[in-house]
Amino acid sequence: MRRTAASPLQSPVEDIAWIGDVKEVLHPIDISRPLWVRTKNISTGPSTPQPSVPHPEVHPYCEFSVGLKGRGTQYIGSEKTRMHGGEVVLMGPGVPHYGFHTGYPQHGITIHFSPTLLVELGPRGDGVRMLSRFTASQSLARAVLRPPPQLFNRLFLRAESMQSEFRSPRVGTELRLRALLSECIVDIMRWEEDEGRATPSTLTNVKWSTIEQTLHHLHENYADPLYVEQVAKAAGLSVSRLQAMFRDAFGMSCMQYLRYYRIWRATAMLCMTGARVTEVAFAVGFETLSHFNSSFKAITGFSPSDFMRSTVQKRS
């Protein structure tokens, strides 16, 4: 019989049985708001280990977390580590994770963001290189970092600024959120570079000029029927080489990336007055309405119709 993940009254499982209980978690992230901020602030709790989230989770976003206070156990994939205050966690999309609180107070901030957010950043090449820091295959030691206090304090102050902007949007909020996130990632990567930390070996297989050429092709032609063979030909690669390079750089295939990009474009179109779901589905390159509906729900957590109704209610 399969064991389930620990309840609040149990000790954390000491193996990877919890992965069998992973559920996909979705946030209202779309092309107009590609970033979501979640705050953890718990002053006291029971002496027994408490789950940090309701159940083991996985999501299609990148994740950047800073933990100021608290003790606990963090499970990422098949590995686990003891967590204390002053740590930073970087994860790419599709990574199952779970955790338990074992000491209080707990105070931390987590930023979830769409992989496309970094791809769209300039100057040329910086965005995809920053994204690769999250998506490249990596050990727990590279996912969980303990920066020096001065750097950690800068990161946490920026995360707090992101939290404030997210809670109380103003003119320029989306630009500021992107800028603050970019500053955090740049500081982490420069610190690692100064420390001489090894770059994951998979990134040596990535030819960034080819990746950028492929992204340009996808972004320019997403509304047309696109198949992996066509994309590979445009990139001057074999299908297997293209797929391997995309997985090394982004943690997903080029066609998965295309599906996400089409849905982000669709969210913007559905916000327009008079939008029709069927017309939007075909306008962003889906060949059937059923595939569009299922993809939209899987990525955003809403059906296209529900998404449209929610945007109308927000405007009114």
Q: What is the CATH number of the domain that holds 179?
A: 2.60.120.280
Most confident of 138-142, 144-148, 249-253, 297-301: 144-148
- List the domain range (segments joined by +) for residue 38: 17-194
pTM for this one?
Answer: 0.71
Residue with tokens 């994770």: 97
| pLDDT(228) > 50 | yes
Please tell me the predicted confidence (pLDDT) of residue 227.
92
Same domain, 51 and 178: yes
Of the candidates 138, 161, 194, which is a domain's last residue? Answer: 194
CA dihedral 5, 11, 12, 15 (to 10 degrees): -90
Same domain, 242 and 135: no
Mean pLDDT (the chain) is 83
Same domain, 223 and 84: no
Same domain, 90 and 238: no
In a domain, 9, yes or no: no
| pLDDT(204) > 60 | no
For the chain, the residue count is: 316
Please tell me the predicted confidence (pLDDT) of residue 117.
84
In a domain, 130, yes or no: yes
Same domain, 38 and 153: yes
Who has greater pLDDT, 9 or 50?
50
Task: Read off the CATH number of the domain in which 302 is found.
Answer: 1.10.10.60
Same domain, 186 and 305: no
Two tokens at 270? 């559905």
Who has greater pLDDT, 30 or 55?
55
Label residue 200 by pLDDT band (50, 70, 90). Answer: low
Across the strands, what pairs with 80? 75
In a domain, 189, yes or no: yes
Count of domains observed in the chain: 2
Label residue 199 by pLDDT band (50, 70, 90). Answer: low
Who has greater pLDDT, 34 or 65?
65
Same domain, 225 and 264: yes
Q: 58 in helix, strand or coil?
A: strand
In a domain, 6, yes or no: no
Of the candidates 133, 163, 194, which is a domain's last residue? Answer: 194
In a domain, 7, yes or no: no
Of the listed ranges 33-47, 163-177, 207-221, the one predicted with least confidence: 207-221
In a domain, 201, yes or no: no
Please tell me the predicted confidence (pLDDT) of residue 105.
94
Give the CA distances from residue 26 to residues 33, 188, 252, in Å, rounded to whole numbers and listed in that order: 14, 26, 17
Q: In the chain, pLDDT over 70 holds for what percent of residues?
A: 86
Of the listed ranges 102-106, 171-175, 220-224, 242-246, the one predicted with least confidence: 242-246
Please tell me the predicted confidence (pLDDT) of residue 29.
78
Please tell me the predicted confidence (pLDDT) of residue 201.
47
Same domain, 132 and 213: no
